[in-house]
Amino acid sequence: MKDNIPQPPATATTAPDPAQAERIARLRERIRNLPGGALIGCSDSCPADVEERFLANVLSIEEEPTVSLLEQLQTRGVRVVPPETLDDADLTPALWQLIEALADVGICLERTDHLSDRQLYDWLWTTQLPEPINLPECDDGGTWHFDVLGGCSLEDLRTCLTYYADDYYREQWVEEFPNEPLPEPRPRPFDRDRHLP
């Protein structure tokens, strides 16, 4: 989950006042001192207010106790049931209800067109919903991006090369990994991504 860190919006530059600059520096240092921590910051064009909120959000994600995404959705009244309890007729509406509920709490899905509705629901149920997460605040513009291929496993890379990679990406792959087989490109079996919130 920690690979899915929300990104701040890019807007015009504003210089921080000295007190704010000090708060930002302390936030950066606290993040750097987290186990496995790295320096996370914003571009020079990012306003100080946005950077401070973003860094505070990252720190809250890393430090505060969290509950699973499933529990948080259920607390908000979203009914999510195990995939094996859904027959084929009920699964697609349940999936789209879940997708909309995720969007309502600031979570977007990416690269799902290679999965059937059942496979995507299973992936969400087993991989994402049990994970502890601190959802972005609704007013801070933060968004989580759940990339189905974000695990960067060899299987994920092959799936990306098969269904999502453009010619340029495929050429780069061949240059960087000349001894690795390049999967043949195939059309995506499903048409969901362009309809995702």
Q: What pLDDT score was predicted for residue 140?
A: 57
**Model confidence at 6: pLDDT above 60:** no
Q: What is the DSSP string of 99-133?
A: HHHHHHTTEEEES-TTS-HHHHHHHIIIIITTSEE
Residue 143 has pLDDT above 70, yes or no: yes
Query: Can you point out the beta strands (E) in 29-182?
Result: 67-68, 107-110, 132-133, 144-147
Q: Which residue is it, tokens 């789209």?
A: 96
Dihedral pair phi/psi, residue 109, rounded to 5°: -100, 150
Question: Per-residue pLDDT for 136 more than 70?
Answer: no
**46-98, pLDDT tens digit by residue?**
888 888 888 887 777 676 657 899 999 999 999 999 999 999 999 999 999 99
Q: What is the mean pLDDT of the chain?
A: 85
Pairing state of beta strands 132-133 and 67-68? antiparallel
List pLDDT tens digits, range 19-56.
988 998 888 888 888 766 665 667 778 888 888 888 88
Summarised one tens digit per residue, pLDDT across range 106-124 is 899 999 999 999 999 999 9
The model's pTM is 0.69
Q: What is the pLDDT of residue 163?
A: 97
Per-residue pLDDT, 146 = 92
pLDDT: is 138 or 61 the higher one? 61
Query: What is the percent of the chain where pLDDT is above 90?
Result: 54
